[in-house]
Amino acid sequence: MRIDIPRVAYTGTIKEITLGRNKNKITIGGESCYPFHLFEGTMPNPPKIAMEVYDSAPEDWPDSAMEPFADVVDDPVAWARKCIDVYGAEMIALQMASTDPNGKNIPADKAAAIAKKVSDEIEVPLIIWGCENVDKDTEVLRSICEICEGRDLIIGPVVEGNYRAIGATAIAYNHTVIASTPIDINLAKQLNILLGNLNVPDDKIIIDPSIGPIGYGLEYTYSVMERIRVAALTQEDERLQYPIILNLAKEVWKIKEVNVSETEAPLYGHKKSRGVLFEALTAQCMLMAGANILIMRHPEAIGLVKESIKDLMNS
Amino acid sequence: MGLSGIEIFKKLPKTNCGKCGVPTCLAFAMKLATGQAELDACPDISENVKEEIGLASAPPVRTVVIGIGERATKIGGETVLFRHEKRFENPPAFTLLLSDNMDDLEISSRLSGFNNAVYERVSVVMKPELVAIRGDSADPLRFNTLVEKICNETDAGLILMNEDVEALSQAVRKCSGRKPLIYAATMENYEILGSLALELSCPLAVKGDGLEELADVCDKLIGMGLKDLVLDSGARNALEDQIIIRRCALMKKTKAFGFPTIVFPCLMTGNLMKETIIACQMIAKYGGIIVLSEIEGYSIFPLLLARMNIFTDPQRPMTVEEKIYEIGAVNENSPVLITGNFSLTYFIVSGEVEASHVPAYLLIKDTEGLSVLTAWAAGKFGADTIALFVKKSGIEEKIKHRRLVIPGYLAAISGELEEELPDWEILIGPREASHLPAYLKQLSA
């Protein structure tokens, strides 16, 4: 029997966005079909993984996550270099965790100096992720935008409460913004509209729908992403036709089931492999729902997900 | 799917007798159309009409049951391409593959991995469902002996796999009472295995070399009267075939593809980590049975969680039990926090409390699965109901102090709550759970 494949009538494509500068530019987006539905459309730019680097040594990581970076965690530049030189990172995501007012609360100028140093020492596209405090991020991210002029950074999270200030600064210094909303398709669209009204160019916006890792609300992120892609690709919803980024590692590695030891919970199995799979499976689900950039931590999880992307692109 | 409420109504007796538990036939028809009622509830409907409506309202992917009793596993029954359209119905059955080429030690160790992998989460028990036994030895006796051994050692549903039709038939006859899945009918043997499956009323897997041959074999089996089929397109990079099969069933009503599928991540790689990733793809995109080479805690536990997430009903929030949860080594001076019973709220709040290393009592109040603000707006998390719950929860016997931390978003009710709970001091916690560790450390300092 001849199989007549029922095809989806796609009417839109995801915007293509080029990140970074000089010879190390990376292009994301551009797909004209649902994720990996390659029998009826194209994904000209496979999803990419950005490796995380922290602005100061993390205190709450399990050994298994710390081990690959133990020699560099005190120096963000060395850390970023190791990600690139040893683990082949195509992008770096610098997490400005120590700017958090509830934590170390380092001042904006000090934070900007760290970001500047990292951006000066690496060639690949650089994502700067704030501490997720609306006011502090405004201050810190604006300083970084200024001091890193000409570096074409990707900065976020830009949220409803600070999009004007950060958005305007990003336009002025030619950076890309990450529009972040709390797991809600309508809020995501709304923020994209607001950024558009502010004159942030269409090729400078990436959507962050917010992530719940497996066991912790993954299904909400998953369905918001699928709905975004259905609207973008089949309902001509232009304000949702942007690539999607997920800052997933920091959410995965703090959950209880990843951190409990095998002695305490024998049924959970080998601790390191478990953590690697929690991260890799969270990433895999996000790929199936339409992720373009995944911010990840463990080199083994990254290796697995890279291989999976390659297999899915060639199938 | 099938008929509208009005179309069903036309076929009902229109007596408005109310015996079905709904006052009118029209109301009953509407409930049938949305899947909220069963046709059997109507005592006066004729068998013919029952079949007519039953067929028309059957899901486009048939529900197939493997195994019996408590270990009966349902697969298929799916009606949508995306979970947000309605929900996914039956989670894919995780299956351990055993071969008659393995020695006894290996069999026991893999089987105990399977039997041990039982986890409870939000009062739901999660575990792998099926054991597949594959004849690789070319020795029918060896295969049959292994099938017998596994039957004795587990109640789980079974998949019997053998290319030797004679050996397979023998084994199936021995344990047909367990309703195993017979694997697999092909273009060459479908008549024999089709008759066997019909005779013993066992579900039958169908394997084709590619989708076209698969459809051909299915059509022949459907013609023979078989109803419970499971599809294997033979592809060992399965995503595209899974999507096409589901789309054909839903969008074209292709009869040959109106069945759940079986996929074999265990045959696509020799590496358990990679196999787990492929299995995860198949959770998201339409695997009906997912066959794995090994069940290790570190691989099956995250897979079970991913499966639970994807197969959660988007229209019904998951909840946890209303009670006092003790986090860490609590004592009579430990802080007391309260929040709602939406499972995500519970997991995130309890995770942050745990991360703070400050032992604490977490009171979870039944808010019908609503998050804090929504519950408050709906009148399910107001000062009066919180006070009532705190009093009857028994927390007052466990602690010496009387200080209650409420979510930051409920700051507005703290005054009212102090009136309702005159012995208590009400403290306003942070709005975001992620700020709990800092808050608790300060509180206990």
Domain for residue B317, yes or no?
no
Which of A2, A3, A60 is the best mutation test for B, with the most CBs of B within 10 A?
A3
pLDDT average, residue stretch B368-390: 90
| Same domain, yes or no: B419 and B301 | no
Write the pLDDT tens digit of every residue in B93-105.
999 999 999 999 9
pLDDT average, residue stretch B272-288: 98
Contact A281 B306 (CB under 8 A): yes
Contact A300 B252 (CB under 8 A): no
Write the pLDDT tens digit of every residue in A193-237.
999 999 999 999 999 999 999 999 999 999 999 999 999 999 999
- Give the count of beta carbons closer than 10 Å to the beta carbon of residue B153: 15
Which of B84, B122, B325, B350 is the best mutation test for A, with the most CBs of A within 10 A?
B84
**Residue among A1, A6, A285 whose CB faces B280 most closely:** A285
**Closest to A82 measured CA to CA, from A109, A56, A53:** A53
Helix/strand/coil (H/E/C) assignment for every residue in B288-302? CEEEECCCCHHHHHH
Higher-pLDDT residue of B308, B355: B308
Contact list in B for residue A256 (CB cut-off 8 A) is: 350-351, 354
Report how far residue B96's alpha carbon sits from residue B108's, in angstroms, rounded to the nearest whole number.
12
pLDDT average, residue stretch A287-307: 98
Higher-pLDDT residue of B201, B30: B201
Write the pLDDT tens digit of every residue in B35-85.
677 788 888 888 888 877 776 667 899 999 999 999 999 999 999 999 999
Report how far residue A291's alpha carbon sits from residue B284's, in angstroms, rounded to the nearest whole number.
14
| Same domain, yes or no: B394 and B423 | yes
Domain count, chain B: 3
Which residues in chain A (260-289) have CB-CB distances under 8 A to chain B?
266-271, 273-274, 276-278, 280-281, 284-285, 288-289
**CA distance, residue A25 to nearest chain B CA (Å):** 29
| Same domain, yes or no: B233 and B289 | yes
Contact B239 A315 (CB under 8 A): yes
Contact B297 A289 (CB under 8 A): no
Whether ipTM tops 0.95, in short, is yes
Report how far residue A214's alpha carbon sits from residue B308's, in angstroms, rounded to the nearest whole number.
9
Query: Which of B286, B310, B334 is the endpoint of a domain?
Result: B310
Quote the percentage of chain A above a pLDDT of 90.
94
Identify the closest residue of chain A to B441 by CA–CA distance.
A102
Contact B297 A288 (CB under 8 A): no
Per mean pLDDT, which range of A108-117, A171-180, A260-269, B374-383 is the poorest? B374-383
**pLDDT for B400 beyond 80:** yes
Query: Which of B57, B75, B90 is the endpoint of a domain?
Result: B57
pLDDT average, residue stretch A90-99: 97
Write down the domain spans for chain A. Answer: 17-314
Is A222 part of the contact surface with chain B (CB cutoff 8 Å)? yes
Write the pLDDT tens digit of every residue in B125-177.
999 999 999 999 999 999 999 999 999 999 999 999 999 999 999 999 999 99
Write the pLDDT tens digit of every residue in B232-248.
998 766 899 999 999 99
pLDDT average, residue stretch B264-284: 97
Contact B298 A254 (CB under 8 A): no
Q: Tell me what pLDDT residue B46 has.
A: 84
Contact A281 B303 (CB under 8 A): yes
Residue numbers of the domain that contains B40 = 5-57
Check if the beta carbon of residue B398 is closer than 8 Å to that of residue B324.
Answer: yes
Identify the closest residue of chain B to A226 by CA–CA distance.
B82
pLDDT average, residue stretch A239-258: 95
Identify the closest residue of chain A to B247 by CA–CA distance.
A6
Q: Residues near B33 by Cβ (< 8 Å), separated by ≥ 6?
A: B3, B4, B5, B8, B57
Q: Tell me what pLDDT residue B98 has.
A: 98
Domain for residue B388, yes or no?
yes
Per mean pLDDT, which range of A58-67, B7-16, B285-294 is the poorest? B7-16
| Same domain, yes or no: B294 and B192 | yes
Q: Number of Cβ pairs closer than 8 Å across A and B?
A: 155
| Same domain, yes or no: B292 and B209 | yes
What 8-state DSSP symbol labels residue B376? Answer: H
Contact A285 B309 (CB under 8 A): yes
Query: Which of B310, B333, B365 is the endpoint of a domain?
Result: B310
Which of A159, A222, A272 is the best mutation test for B, with the most CBs of B within 10 A?
A222
Q: Tell me what pLDDT residue A76 has.
A: 98
**CA distance, residue B317 to nearest chain A CA (Å):** 11
pLDDT average, residue stretch B343-351: 88
| Same domain, yes or no: B52 and B123 | no
CATH assignment of the domain containing B51:
1.10.15.40
Domain for residue B207, yes or no?
yes
Contact B239 A312 (CB under 8 A): yes
Environment class of B442 (CB within 10 Å of its CB; exposed 0-12, middle 13-18, buried 19+): exposed
Contact B215 A226 (CB under 8 A): no
Q: Tell me what pLDDT residue B11 has.
A: 86
Q: Tell me what pLDDT residue B114 has.
A: 97
Q: Tell me what pLDDT residue B1 has.
A: 46
From start to end of A153-256, where are the E strands? 154-158, 176-180, 205-208, 245-247
Q: Tell me what pLDDT residue B2 has.
A: 60
3-class DSSP state of B435: helix
Which of A133, A311, A312 is the best mutation test for B, with the most CBs of B within 10 A?
A311
Domain for residue B436, yes or no?
yes
| Architecture, CATH, for domain A17-314 | Alpha-Beta Barrel (3.20)
pLDDT average, residue stretch A248-266: 93
CATH assignment of the domain containing B394:
3.40.50.11600
Domain for residue B318, yes or no?
no
Contact B247 A5 (CB under 8 A): yes
Domain for residue B315, yes or no?
no
> How much is the mean pLDDT over chain B?
93
- Give the count of beta carbons closer than 10 Å to the beta carbon of residue B415: 11
DSSP, residue by residue, A242-284: S-BEEE-HHHHTTSHHHHS-TTT-GGG--HHHHHHHHHHHHHH
Q: Tell me what pLDDT residue B415 has.
A: 92
Check if the beta carbon of residue B234 is closer than 8 Å to that of residue B205.
Answer: no
| Same domain, yes or no: B303 and B254 | yes
Q: Tell me what pLDDT residue B347 has.
A: 86
